[in-house]
Amino acid sequence: MTITTMAARGTVVFPENFIWGAATASYQIEGAVKEEGRGQSIWDTFSHTPGKVFEGHTGDVACDHYHRYRDDVALMKELNLGAYRFSVAWPRVQPDGQGAVNPAGLAFYDRLVDELLEHEIDPYVTLYHWDLPQALEDRGGWTDRDTAYRFADYARAVYDKLGDRVRNWATLNEPWVSAFLGYGNGVHAPGRTDAAESFKAGHHLLLAHGLAAQALRAQGAEQIMLVVNASPVMTPAQVHDPAAEASEADAEAVRRVDALLQGQFLEPALRGRYPEEVLRARSLQGGLDHILDGDLETINQPIDLIGINYYNPTVVEAGPGTPADAAWPGSQDVRFSPADAPTTAMGWPIVPSGLSRLLVRLSRDYPEVGLMITENGAAFDDVVVDGRVHDPGRQSYLEGHLGAVHHAIQQGADVRGYLVWSLLDNFEWAFGYDKRFGIVHVDYESLVRTPKDSALWYKQVIGANGW
Ligand code: FCB
């Protein structure tokens, strides 16, 4: 890889073949929840349950991408995107999560892939971005071991249909979030709140990843990845000074939270073991009986890439007597702290250097796999004025984080590409349509798409392979 930095012009140039694109997820954009045999997902149930999502918003219509995908692909082309990451809705393919496939549901993704390829946009398929078939949740969802085997069958069915044209496959999106927001603090579907169950769900998600990776590989998949919500864990002082000394108690808090977030998923997937801190936390919450002999071997499949979704760092310090956060079983005596940094509309601190640190470290710890930024972006309160959306905050967020990616590459991190979250404003889970992450604005009344200034800037960056 050759990196050129023309400092005199302040220009940043990315490696040749660097992949530029955008990401979305099925439930957040598709709508058409009852069409062509789609079954119900846990997010349909959850969003229709009063009090779960901001102002009762649901994904029933969302961006209506199911019907407008052709225009959306044309828009991607217009914006110079070379790659598009989308997810397949499991309940479109298997309405009950198992058994015969629904050809009409699969046909949608077949059309989408063809449309992308016609526009020379490389598809990145995520098999699971949180819309579990409700029928499987009724049998225990991710707390039921059988769900992992059902997922592998589903992965096989999708590969059968798309594998002749799709080269890039992600098994799961952010298993930490599925397990700990879905079954721990209950902020996401299915909304369960039980520490032991959340650990169990995490293990079964990993098993699902391993089984699906095995199945995809056996069928000939070229690139397989696991997508994680990675975030560097640090003390408040380390936000601006990575070398800042931490007391032994603070350092222990950092290590433990890092193990719960990163190690819990990456170590089993890439090294076939759970970190000590995670085993300890689990044995205090329901025990380890759900980890069967041979599971870690199954989970530890060779993969090609780690997909990194980065938004902000995780800032912690020792907090004696603090009870564990419901999303973080095992985090007792840890205080989660705000970072001293400006924030996005989500209240998330903007710390681009966190991304460089993360990438350099992951490339060092797992040198055998490449890294891909599968999500990075920001919500701001955008408004359309005279047909334009001025979003300097987002543009500067993206520029800062792309700069951080470039910096990490210069330090030796093997980063292959960058997919902005998100192509479109969309259904932001528990926040409904209240938070806008798109580089393209969506008017939810008319469904009209308007590229924001950040999209026009991104288009130029892609065209120049930097700035
Ligand atoms: C990630 C999710 C994605 C989106 C962004 C903002 O955790 O994968 O669907 O909600 O956050």
- For residue 25 and ligand 1, the question of a CB distance below 6 A is answered with yes
Mean pLDDT of the chain: 97
Q: What is the pLDDT of residues 315-361, one digit of tens each?
A: 999 999 999 999 999 999 999 999 999 999 999 999 999 999 999 99
Average pLDDT over residues 42-63: 99
Closest CA to 266 of 234, 294, 307, 212: 307
Structure tokens at 89: 């809705």
User: Would you say 217 and 297 are in contact if contact means Cβ atoms under 8 Å apart?
Assistant: no
DSSP secondary structure letters along 424-442: B----GGGGGGS---SEEE
Kindly state the percentage of the chain with pLDDT values over 90: 98
Residue 35's CB: how many other CB atoms inside 10 A? 14
pLDDT at 7: 38
Amino acid at 162: L
Chain centroid to CA 284: how far?
Answer: 29
- For residue 425 and ligand 1, the question of a CB distance below 6 A is answered with no
For residue 429, which atom of ligand 1 is closest to its CA?
Answer: 10
DSSP secondary structure letters along 11-32: EEEPPTT-EEEEE--HHHH---
Closest CA to 253 of 228, 269, 236: 236
* pLDDT classification of 275: cutoffs 50, 70, 90: very high
Among the listed residues 115, 137, 174, 277, the single catalytic one is 174
Is 120 known to be catalytic?
no
SS3 at position 266: helix
Length of the chain: 467
Q: Is the pLDDT of residue 1 over 80?
A: no
Amino acid at 287: G
- For residue 415 and ligand 1, the question of a CB distance below 6 A is answered with no
